[in-house]
Amino acid sequence: MTATPELSTPPEIGGIGHSVLRQEDDRLIEGQGDFLDDLVLPGMLHMAIHRSPVAHARIRGIDTEAASAVEGVVAVVTGELMAAHNLAWMPTLSGDTQAVLATDKVRYQGQEVAAVIATDPYIAADAATLIEVDYEMLPAVTGPQQSLSADAPVIRDEKEGQTDNLVYTWSSGDAEATDAAFARAAKVVSLETFYPRSHPAPLETCGIVADVNSVTGQATVYLTSQAPHAHRTLFALVAGLPEQKIRIISPDIGGGFGNKVPIYPGYVVATAASLLLGTPVKWIESRSDNLISTGFGRDYHMRGELALDDDGRILALRADVLSDQGAFYSDAQPSNFRAGLFHVVTGSYDFGAAHVTCKGAFTNKAPGGVAYRCSFRITEASYLIERLVQNAAYEIGMDPAEFRLLNFIRSDQFPYTTPTGFVYDSGDYHTAMRKAMDEVGYTELRATQAAAREEGRLIGIGVAHFTEAVGAGPSRTYDIAGLKMFDSAELRVHPTGKAILKLGVKTQGQGHETTFAQIVASELGIPVTDIKVVHGDTDNTPYGLGTYASRSTPTSGAATSMVSRKLADKARKIAAHLLEAAEADIDLAAGVFSVRGTPERSVTIQDVAFAAYTNMPEGLEHGLEGSSYYDPPNLTFPYGSYIVVVEVDPETGVWKVERMVALDDCGVRINPMIVEGQIHGGLTEGFAKSSMQWITFDDDGNCIGSNFMDYLVPTAWETPRFELLETCVPSPHHPIGAKGVGESATVGSPAAYVNAVIDALAHLGVRNIDMPVLPDRVWDAIQSAS
């Protein structure tokens, strides 16, 4: 199927397929949002963190006297005090430990060393600068290659049995079959590339207001959290607080993008301080705190090799990855997969063998590796295979789009098992690619490119086709820190036919208050505007693993369908009672229950809701409410074909995007407008990564990229115009056929932009320019080629 299915509800109900305006936006754009820093509680104190200015040093002593003497300072907290409460270290989501406040050593610039609690945020920040730490400097290790060399200092020397800086070695696929395929290959193509460290940089930084009642022990924690339920359980386990006395409220957090999944030391210190002082304590990061010290993404050094036969068909893939994990291993990855889902690196292609190895290394950098606007490490994987495939096409003299069409998994091969064990649910890659090629005018463009070359102009046409794996669970395979990855929804229809839907996931701006209401509207015919969607409050929503890695729609969205269907079943019984007909004869369409054959005999969902509280048939419980916990049978696999056209200035290396055609297939689109917004965001981010954005470090471990002057966030001025297309191959196992889409464009587009620049220079023999593709790098490539 390649067209969006027909709408089942009229616009006034606004179910699946309608571009309903975002219900949350009036509140958000009129200044009525409820962000963390807006929160003021009576008697609230403020916390500021003193961070290490150096990357690696032993702590000889900490002098807090001057800070403590400042008027308005209530307490200064050090690691020693935290240690007295057994809280100097905390477990990470990946089974490592992380210092809450440093006691023995600092291991990266920006690490938390002490905290000041004061009556005013500025007093706290000023006093934090007065803390004096006596450091004995140690050599900084700023790259994973250096870190794994024999003479590197051991960064995690506090860990029993740790004698080097290796975090893990993990592999997937069949090494023997892969070796055999390489042995019989007609050609082997290789690429060594680096996906630099980058940062989610949400609009609102991370923060907490901890309010622990010293009498009742009730801890109400307002937290910038993408996963409030999981965080509540982990808080209970770490702090030993009874879970029923912890309520986590995640308000209108201004974006997450993976940054708000980990638990940060500031959260733990603020909660401990509130517990000890008996007053609410607020901590919110500065922009630099956020950029230097919280969950980074990427930082993958990758080498890939493709084995090809005589006809240009891929036989096998070998990939070796070296991951820079920073000083603590604190990724939020599913436990079974230490390098995330990197083994989806076989991409959209049909071949028999693959072997992937990944090593993680500790370095003197902030801990990183969050699922930054992608499903766990899939952006890196997609980037590697798409760059490799492009180069393979050049090496055998085939057009890169034709090479992909030759090697794609065919639509009749789905469900398709990849050589690393994923089962792709559905797809039609050939149709997607051809549609994108038609839209951009691919054949003519190649002719234009050739003619332009004659005039010394450098036009490049970059292609990327990606397959993403989103929607984790299923719970039998996927868990984070032992918590199984299912998700939930709870729905209650009130007597007047209005409804409240409570979600296990947590919106950070993706429009869940609209799209999830649309699912209910489609199933029950209750208008979207009559449905209130609640999320982010653990006392008032069912348990769920949260929103990241495009999992909300495939998991909690599915649970929303399932609970709506449960209510529809009960509603049908009530309608049969009201219509004095047999339940089996009742049809439901767009909120109207009618008797089959005599459609004029009907009642509405609103009539049924009223009857659920006033006129129930004998033997049926009152009320119209229920909940569903949905454990998906598989991931869903959205995909897309992207084509970018650039022109490179041969004199300066500056490149400009002339066209960006992006075709996405996320199955059934609940809200086409919201999906397009998600894609625009991802394409913009892909453009930023490929052209301007990275975080790097000098040899001493000083972070370069600690503010928005160094870490560039694209504006509307430089962002290209996007031309969006779609196909629709529904997910066969999802109740409404939707696949997640939230992150796809970030996954697919960086390779498309970079491939476009490389394509402009491919005839000169250029095969690689690392991201970000800065003009000087392009210019260097041109110079060394000529």
Residue ranges that bind ligand CDP, judged by CB under 6 A: 510-512, 515, 547, 550-553, 557, 666-671, 674-675, 678, 738-742
| Closer residue to ligand CDP, CB minimum distance, 258 or 626 | 258
We find the least distance from the C-beta atom of residue 691 to ligand CDP, in angstroms, to be 24
Q: What backbone torsions phi and psi does residue 629 show, to the nearest 5 degrees?
A: -115, 120
Query: Could you count the other beta carbons within 10 Å of the beta carbon of residue 198?
Result: 25
Task: Specify whether the CB–CB gap between 772 and 194 falls below 8 A.
Answer: no
C-alpha dihedral (142, 144, 150, 151), degrees to nearest 10:
0
Q: How near is the Cβ of 43 to ligand CDP at its closest, in Å?
A: 36
- The arrangement of strands across the sheet holding 458-467 comes to 458-467, 639-648, 655-665, 723-726
Q: Which is nearer to ligand CDP, 308 or 528 (CB)?
A: 528
* Residue 542: alpha-carbon gap to chain centroid: 22
Q: Please, what is the minimum distance in Å from the beta carbon of residue 662 to ligand CDP?
A: 15
Shorter beta-carbon distance to ligand CDP: residue 389 or 526: 526
Shorter beta-carbon distance to ligand CDP: residue 550 or 706:
550
Residue among 305 and 425 whose Cβ is closer to ligand CDP = 425
Residues 6+ apart with CB under 8 A from 23: 513, 514, 517, 528, 529, 533
In the numeric block, the tokens 């699912």 are attached to 519
Q: Which two tokens stand for residue 214?
A: 């010293």
237, amino acid identity = L
Please, which residue, 20 or 75, has the CB nearer to ligand CDP? 20
d(CA 151, CA 148): 8
Distance of closest approach, residue 476 Cβ to ligand CDP, in angstroms: 21
Shortest CB 512 distance to ligand CDP, Å? 5
The length of the chain is 786
Q: Which is nearer to ligand CDP, 608 or 666 (CB)?
A: 666
Other beta carbons within 10 angstroms of residue 440's beta carbon come to: 24
What is the rounded distance in angstroms from the CA atom of residue 472 to the CA atom of residue 555?
8
Beta strands 479-480 and 483-484: pairing type? antiparallel
Point out the residues that are catalytic: 226, 373-374, 743
Give CA torsion, residues 559, 545, 381, 156, to 10 deg: -170
Residue nearest to ligand CDP (CB): 742
Q: In this structure, which amino acid lies at residue 229?
A: H
Asked if residue 63 lies in contact with residue 129, where contact means CB atoms within 8 angstroms, the answer is no
Q: In the numeric block, which tokens belong to residue 658?
A: 């002339």
Angstrom distance (rounded) from CA 436 to CA 422: 26
Least gap, CB of 281 to ligand CDP (angstroms): 30
Instruction: Name the residue with tokens 């890196």.
Output: 380
Around Cβ 36, how many Cβ atoms within 10 Å? 24
Contact (Cβ atoms closer than 8 angstroms) between residue 709 and residue 403: no
Give the start-end residues of each E strand in 349-446.
353-362, 416-417, 423-424
Nearer Cβ to ligand CDP (33/72): 33
